[in-house]
Amino acid sequence: MELRGIQAAHAALAQEIEAAVRRVFAHGRFIAGPEVAEFEAALGAYTGVAHCLSCGNGTDALCLIMAALDIGPGDAVFLPGYTFFATAEAVMQAGAAPVLVDVRACDGNIDPTALSSAIEHCTAGRPRAVIGVDLFGRAADWPALEQIAARHGLLLIEDAAQSVGGWLEGRACGSFGRAAAVSFFPSKPLGGVGDGGAVLTNDSELAQKVALLKNHGRQGGPYRHIAVGGNSRLDSLQAAVLMTKLAHLAAWIEACDHAAARYAALLPGWITPLRGCGVTNSRSAWAQYMVALPHEEARLAAEAALRARDIPYARYYPLPLHRQPVLAHLEAELPICDRLSQTTLALPMHPFITTEQQAEVTQALWAAGRP
Ligand SMILES: Cc1ncc(COP(=O)(O)O)c(C=O)c1O
């Protein structure tokens, strides 16, 4: 059984992917081939944003946004304490101060009330930006974040690394804030066969800056440079594979919706899916199917039962950001981040999971017994 169905997706699309890869080999433009611009246009259209600038990975996308927005020393940037390290890393790479904020137990996304309080009591630097993360594929509370950012005059940035294909109130994940960073890491909802990422934005000026920074500050010819940037690009083969997969993304997410409904019906009552905070018009991209157990011992028992049947599972994240050695000096107290890291579990979830496989997973959890 697979946790994320990467092999299953490639088996289902083998012919399409092979044909796309063959086309790239035929023209031989492995860097900046036509697939890159085609994919950028398609993802921009899918998410409804004007500019999609592909790059090397999601971490680069976050760093490019920081640099293009001139976020740096003296600036404080607010982000959830429960996310992949890259969200904080991009802030620190820029020389700004990360301020870790607690999250909501219902979905692990940044808690707007805790965010307001962190901004009002900030001593880490000049409050400058908020990064909302659409954790596990589910959109953060963007309407609340937009209000808070506007009230305090802060930039709003979306870390949509896990949420391409997700929606909130008719708006696509990747379209919130001034700019969004997405990742095409293979296990993501839209995953490549290697690294990849993109910056999405409606801001033309920002898009121009990102385009410069990701391409050695090049302008007016291949060997003319007007700024110091770097090299971060999506190669033609990745773009070709991603283009193939993008055509199936909506159907895949629908299949995951059905699988999530099946899990909800089959899971024991003491295991609760993280399903959002009562917002009905939100659609997860199902980067992970996360469940919460009543306490840490119950999670250990559930993990043992899954292992005994060779069923894959994962912990996201075993250490929340404030427990990371490199961030311990912040001395943040984030009780919900702690609780989620101790009690949650990712179960197998992908468009190709079968009813029988889901029954096997839930039977193992029932067998672990009521805590
Ligand atoms: C929330 C979040 N932000 C950023 C990243 C970084 O993306 P990448 O691995 O493509 O650099 C990831 C990837 O795991 C992520 O989950």
Over residues 328-339, the pLDDT tens digits come to 999 999 999 999
What is the average pLDDT across 338-361? Answer: 98
How far apart are the CA of 371 and the centre of ligand 1, in A?
Answer: 34
| DSSP one-letter code for 141 | -
Give the residue among 162, 161, 142, 159 at the shortest CA–CA distance from 289. 162
The per-residue pLDDT for range 221-235, each reduced to its tens digit, is: 999 999 999 999 999
DSSP per-residue string spanning 19-55? HHHHHHHHH---SS-HHHHHHHHHHHHHHT-SEEEEE
* C-alpha radius of gyration, the chain, whole number: 21
pLDDT at 304: 97
What is the average pLDDT across 291-307? Answer: 97
pLDDT at 87 over 80: yes
* pLDDT band for position 49 (cuts 50, 70, 90): very high
Reduce the DSSP state of residue 181 to 3 states and report it.
strand
Q: Which ligand 1 atom minimizes the distance to the CA of 162?
A: 16
Tokens of 79: 């982000």
Cα gap 249→58, rounded to integer Å = 19
What is the average pLDDT across 19-32? Answer: 98
What is the average pLDDT across 122-148? Answer: 98
Check if 317 has its Cβ closer than 6 Å to any atom of ligand 1.
Answer: no
pTM of the entire predicted model: 0.98
Mutational test site, ligand 1, from 162, 164, 176, max ligand atoms within 8 Å of CB: 162
What is the average pLDDT across 133-158? Answer: 98
How far apart are the CA of 251 and the centre of ligand 1, in A?
Answer: 23
Q: Which ligand 1 atom minimizes the distance to the CA of 183?
A: 10
Residue 273: beta bridge partners?
Answer: 291
Q: Which domains does the chain have, with CATH numbers?
A: 6-244 (3.40.640.10), 248-368 (3.90.1150.10)
For residues 64 and 198, the answer to whether their CB atoms sit within 8 Å is no
Mutational test site, ligand 1, from 135, 164, 185, 315, max ligand atoms within 8 Å of CB: 185
Cα gap 28→52, rounded to integer Å = 23
How far apart are the CA of 279 and the centre of ligand 1, in A?
Answer: 25
* pLDDT band for position 371 (cuts 50, 70, 90): confident
Check if 57 has its Cβ closer than 6 Å to any atom of ligand 1.
Answer: yes
First CA to last CA distance, the chain: 26
Give the residue among 69, 91, 182 at the shortest CA–CA distance from 133. 182
The per-residue pLDDT for range 31-46, each reduced to its tens digit, is: 999 999 999 999 999 9
Q: Which ligand 1 atom minimizes the distance to the CA of 90?
A: 4
